[in-house]
Amino acid sequence: MNDVIQDEIIEQFDGLEWFDKYGLLISFAKELKPMSDEFKTEENSISGCQSKVWIRSYIEDGKLIFDLDSDAMITKGIIALVAKVVNNRYPEEILNADLYFIDKIGLKSNLSPARSNGLESIITRIKEVAEKEANSSS
Query: 82: closest CA among 134, 32, 133, 21?
Result: 32
Do residues 123 and 95 touch, judged by C-beta distance below 8 A?
no
pLDDT, one tens digit per residue, over 70-105 is 999 999 999 999 999 999 999 999 999 999 999 999
Residue 49 annotated as catalytic: yes
What gap in Å lies between CA 11 and CA 33, rounded to an integer?
23
Domain that holds residue 35: 4-137
pLDDT of residue 85: 96
Specify the 3-state DSSP secondary structure of 106: coil
Q: Could you give the number of structural domains in the chain?
A: 1
- Mean per-residue pLDDT for 39-58? 90
CATH at residue 58:
3.90.1010.10
Do residues 89 and 63 touch, judged by C-beta distance below 8 A?
yes
What's the pTM value of the predicted model, to 2 decimals? 0.91
Asked if pLDDT for residue 1 goes beyond 80, the answer is no
pLDDT-based confidence at residue 47 (cuts at 50, 70, 90): confident
- Residue 48 backbone zone (phi > 0: left; psi -120 to 50: alpha; other: beta): left
Catalytic residue among 49, 83, 111, 126: 49
What gap in Å lies between CA 136 and CA 131, rounded to an integer?
9
For a pLDDT cut of 90, what percent of the chain falls above it? 80
Do residues 40 and 69 touch, judged by C-beta distance below 8 A?
yes
